[in-house]
């Protein structure tokens, strides 16, 4: 269009100088920078079109052009029947259908139709009008595209002989096309995260954005505007200081780089391994690493540089540095605090501050630790424990009354009783020994020792001696002795015949 408009300006100037200025053809040609014959041709066409000066004001450049240069008679090509492009476009979406197949079918119906190259050119022109692509210019260090290849690699289990398919994780940097690939046992969350960690290590840096496909392991709920990421995936991104922006659903152009990377890996790595037999994931990854280096160092003809050279030139200087430690895989779980101020993870119970009873919290579990977060703040952490049905409790998480009870122990009761006297100590020891679990006797011991406040330590000591002689080691029994004043009555039986139930008493060292 710019050339046409430039010609129309010259045409108007030619007509003005001739009809208004009455200049010669040679002077007009010199003034407008055109040939003498061109001036003659313009004037001839204007007379045939019935134009005169001044030209009508409503006559624009396009109208003037078509008046001076009307369409010629249609050529043979213009009457050639056009294919049904809507049908062609729909058929190409079907598996196995190619342009050449559709062209052959078109030529069967129209033997004098377009050749194959012209057919493809016309289709591309038509298709561009449907959804004009946004040309993406990838900045250095900006994006890393990740996905799994559609093709898998069979691996033989040496022990069972079973053949299973390894999945191929692929990461591609946007600016340089520098590629990373490794084999995984499955497309699950641990492998997905491990692939990212390995890719960052291979690239020796972190991009600003990670663009994955909407794999269920990483994206819980795909959405065009607000995708819901898996908490572990988000945790990994925060650790590396990057952002995860998943590709839009059914928009392969959003991740065209990795789609091309998948194709390249399948052609230059997996195809070359098609006749190899692998007996383990490590063996397969070793073969992939060797061919991956060859792929990245091979020169790309259209750029006359290798992926590695472009990586060192573009992406490598722009990548953010790696954190001090690589990301440690962590499982996240949402939970509600029980009324006993504990939360459950894998059937083990971990305490939280008792103020959070019935509150919703997040549990983050790594291989060694369990961390608990409330409103994005970490409130506590525990060593991870695999004992099912057991509790891991921090004393500071308990209410004051629970904390006091938790501090009780057999040794503490014995020490407390010994301060009153040996008989009191023996009766406490007998009470602890009388139950299957010492904890069952704590309240009995507490009640017995509390009698010293109401009756004095001397009377409790004497009552304990009479209780032992009578085979009594309960709170109610000793209180009855005190209420009846029997502690002040001398024992009639010799000491040798006194109650010897405590002969099997465990002693304080047992409870240490």
DSSP per residue, 387-438 = -TT-EE--GGGS-HHHHHHHT--HHHHHHHHHTT-HHHHHHHHHHHHTSSSG
According to the model, what pLDDT value does residue 191 have?
92
- Residue 442 CA to residue 444 CA, distance in Å, equals 5
Give the confidence band of 371 by pLDDT, cuts at 50, 70, 90.
Answer: very high
Which residues lie below 8 Å from residue 358, measured CB to CB, with a gap of 6+?
A: 336, 337, 339
Q: Taking 60 as the threshold, does the pLDDT of residue 134 lie above it?
A: no
Contact 196, 171 (CB under 8 A): yes
| Mean pLDDT, residues 252-274 taken together | 75
pLDDT in tens, 172-205: 988 888 999 999 998 888 999 999 999 999 999 9
Residue 196 tokens, joined: 């990212």
Which residues lie below 8 Å from residue 342, measured CB to CB, with a gap of 6+?
A: 349, 350, 351, 352, 391, 393
Place of tokens 């020994």: 433
Give the confidence band of 223 by pLDDT, cuts at 50, 70, 90.
Answer: very low
Distance of CA 151 to the CA centre of its chain: 22
Give the confidence band of 44 by pLDDT, cuts at 50, 70, 90.
Answer: confident
- Domain ranges (residues) in the chain: 2-68, 85-128, 144-318, 331-404, 408-511
| Mean pLDDT, residues 105-130 taken together | 84
Q: Of 46-60, 71-85, 358-372, where does mean pLDDT reach its minimum?
A: 71-85
Most confident of the following: 39-48, 354-363, 428-437: 354-363
| Mean pLDDT, residues 132-144 taken together | 64
Which residues lie below 8 Å from residue 5, measured CB to CB, with a gap of 6+?
A: 61
- Residue 309 CA to residue 202 CA, distance in Å, equals 15
Q: Using a pLDDT cut of 90, give the percent of the chain over it.
A: 16
Could you say which DSSP state residue 358 is in? T
Q: Of 53-67, 68-82, 97-111, where does mean pLDDT reach its minimum?
A: 68-82
Residue 23 tokens, joined: 């200049």
Q: What is the mean pLDDT of the chain?
A: 80
CATH number for region 144-318: 3.30.420.10
- Residue 470 CA to residue 506 CA, distance in Å, equals 20
| Mean pLDDT, residues 133-145 taken together | 68
Q: Taking 90 as the threshold, does the pLDDT of residue 260 lie above it?
A: no
| Mean pLDDT, residues 355-377 taken together | 89
Q: Using a pLDDT cut of 70, give the percent of the chain over it.
A: 81
- Residue 201 CA to residue 193 CA, distance in Å, equals 13
Contact 116, 106 (CB under 8 A): no
- Residue 300 CA to residue 294 CA, distance in Å, equals 12
Residue 258 tokens, joined: 């990795």
Count of other CB atoms within 10 angstroms of residue 49? 13
Which residues lie below 8 Å from residue 31, measured CB to CB, with a gap of 6+?
A: 13, 17, 23
3-class DSSP string for 84-141? CHHHHHHHHCCCCCCHHHHHHHHHHHCCCCCCHHHHHHHHHHHHHCCCCCCCCCCCCC
Helix and strand numbers, DSSP H then E, in the chain: 19, 17
| Mean pLDDT, residues 230-253 taken together | 77
- Residue 13 CA to residue 61 CA, distance in Å, equals 13
| Mean pLDDT, residues 58-86 taken together | 71
- Residue 156 CA to residue 167 CA, distance in Å, equals 14
Give the confidence band of 323 by pLDDT, cuts at 50, 70, 90.
Answer: very high
Q: Which of 475, 418, 474 lies closest to 450, judged by CA?
A: 475
Peptide bond into 54 cis (omega under 30): yes
Question: What 3-state DSSP class applies to 168?
Answer: strand
According to the model, what pLDDT value does residue 5 have?
46
- Residue 471 CA to residue 477 CA, distance in Å, equals 10
According to the model, what pLDDT value does residue 93 have?
57
According to the model, what pLDDT value does residue 33 have?
75
Could you say which DSSP state residue 491 is in? P
According to the model, what pLDDT value does residue 71 have?
67
According to the model, what pLDDT value does residue 48 have?
82
Place of tokens 């990301």: 327
Could you say which DSSP state residue 32 is in? H
Backbone angles phi, psi at 69, to 5 degrees: -130, 70
Residue 253 tokens, joined: 């152009």
Count of other CB atoms within 10 angstroms of residue 146? 23
According to the model, what pLDDT value does residue 502 have?
47
- Tell me how far CA of residue 237 lies from CA of 62, 172, 203, 212, 331, in angstroms: 56, 17, 16, 12, 14
- Residue 197 CA to residue 144 CA, distance in Å, equals 12
């Amino acid at each position: 269009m710019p050339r046409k408009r430039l010609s129309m300006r010259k045409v108007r100037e030619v007509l003005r100088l001739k009809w208004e200025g009455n200049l010669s053809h040679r002077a007009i040609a010199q003034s407008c920078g055109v040939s003498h014959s061109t001036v003659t041709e313009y004037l001839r066409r204007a007379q045939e079109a019935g134009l005169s000066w001044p030209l009508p004001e409503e006559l624009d450049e396009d109208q003037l052009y078509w008046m001076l240069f009307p369409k010629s008679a249609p050529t043979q090509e213009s009457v050639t029947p056009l294919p049904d492009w809507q049908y062609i476009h729909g058929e190409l979406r079907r598996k196995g259908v190619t342009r050449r197949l559709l062209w052959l079918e078109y030529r069967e119906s129209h033997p004098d139709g377009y050749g194959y190259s012209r057919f493809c050119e016309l289709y591309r022109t038509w298709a561009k009008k449907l959804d004009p692509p946004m040309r993406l210019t990838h900045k250095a260090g900006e994006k890393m595209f990740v996905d799994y290849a559609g093709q898998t690699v069979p691996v033989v289990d040496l022990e069972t002989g079973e053949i299973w398919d390894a999945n191929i994780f692929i990461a591609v940097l946007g600016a340089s096309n520098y590629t990373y690939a490794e084999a995984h046992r499955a497309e699950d969350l641990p492998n997905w995260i491990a692939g990212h960690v390995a890719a960052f290590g291979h690239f020796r840096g972190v991009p600003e954005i990670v663009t994955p496909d909407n794999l269920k392991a990483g994206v819980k709920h795909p959405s065009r505007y607000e995708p819901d990421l898996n908490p572990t995936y988000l945790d990994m991104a925060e650790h590396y200081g990057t952002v995860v922006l998943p590709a839009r659903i059914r928009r392969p152009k959003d991740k065209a780089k990795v789609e091309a990377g998948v194709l390249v890996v399948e052609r230059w790595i997996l195809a070359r391994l098609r006749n190899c037999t692998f007996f383990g994931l490590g063996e397969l990854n070793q073969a992939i690493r060797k061919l991956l280096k060859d792929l990245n160092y091979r020169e790309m003809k259209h750029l006359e540089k290798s992926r590695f050279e472009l990586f060192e030139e573009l992406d490598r200087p722009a990548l953010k540095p790696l954190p001090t430690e690589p990301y440690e895989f962590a499982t996240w779980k949402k939970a509600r605090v029980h009324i006993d101020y504990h939360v459950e993870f894998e059937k083990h119970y971990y305490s939280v501050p008792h103020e959070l009873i019935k509150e919703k919290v997040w549990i983050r579990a790594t291989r060694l630790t369990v961390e608990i977060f409330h409103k994005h703040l970490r409130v506590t952490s525990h060593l991870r424990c695999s004992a099912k049905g057991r509790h891991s409790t921090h004393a500071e998480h308990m209410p004051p009354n629970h904390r006091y009870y938790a501090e009780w122990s057999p040794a503490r009761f014995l020490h407390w009783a010994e301060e009153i006297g040996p008989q009191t100590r023996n009766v406490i020891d007998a009470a602890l020994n009388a139950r299957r679990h010492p904890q069952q006797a704590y309240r009995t011991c507490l009640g017995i020792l509390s009698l010293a406040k109401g009756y004095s330590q001397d009377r409790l000591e004497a009552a304990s001696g009479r209780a032992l002689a009578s085979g009594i080691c309960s709170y109610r029994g000793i209180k009855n002795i005190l209420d009846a004043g029997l502690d002040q009555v001398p024992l009639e039986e010799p000491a040798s015949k006194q109650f010897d139930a405590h002969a099997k008493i465990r002693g304080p060292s047992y409870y240490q």
